[in-house]
Amino acid sequence: MTSQAESKLLCETGAGTPMGEFMRQYWLPAGLSSELEADGDPMRLMLLGEKLIAFRDSSGRIGIMDHRCPHRCASFFFGRNEEDGIRCVYHGWKFDVDGNCVDMANVPPHQDFKAKVKAKSYKATERNGLIWVYMGDQTDIPELPDIEANLQPEAEVDFRFVQRRCNWLQALEGDLDTSHLSFLHFGSVGKDALNEESTQRHLLANRAPEFIVQDTDYGTMGAAFRPADEDNTYWRFAHYIFPVWAFSPNWPMDVNILARAWVPMDDEHTMFMEIIRKNVRSAYKAKDGKQLAGAMVMDRLRPNSTDWFGRWRLSDDTENDYGIDRGVQKTGSYTGIDGIHLQDQATTESMGPISDKTWEHLSPTDTLITATRKRIINAVNAYKKDGALPPKSRLAKTVHGVRSGSFTAPKHVTWLDAYEQQMATGAKNKAQAAG
Give the pLDDT score at 296: 74
pLDDT score of 172 more than 60: yes
Domains defined along the chain, listed by start? 27-134 (2.102.10.10), 148-434 (no CATH)
* Residue pLDDT, tens place only, 15-25: 999 999 999 99
User: How far is Cα 316 from Cα 299, in angstroms, rounded to an integer?
Assistant: 10
User: How far is Cα 190 from Cα 186, in angstroms, rounded to an integer?
Assistant: 8
* Residue pLDDT, tens place only, 327-382: 999 988 899 998 899 999 999 999 999 999 999 999 999 999 999 999 999 999 99
* Residue pLDDT, tens place only, 103-114: 999 999 999 999
Angle (CA) 173 215 1, round 5°: 50
Give the pLDDT score at 376: 98
Residues 161 and 271: beta-carbon distance below 8 Å: yes
pTM of the entire structure? 0.95
**88-92, 290-294, 396-400, 414-418: which has the minimum mean pLDDT?**
290-294
Give the pLDDT score at 50: 98
Angle (CA) 245 247 252, round 5°: 165
User: How far is Cα 286 from Cα 189, in angstroms, rounded to an integer?
Assistant: 9
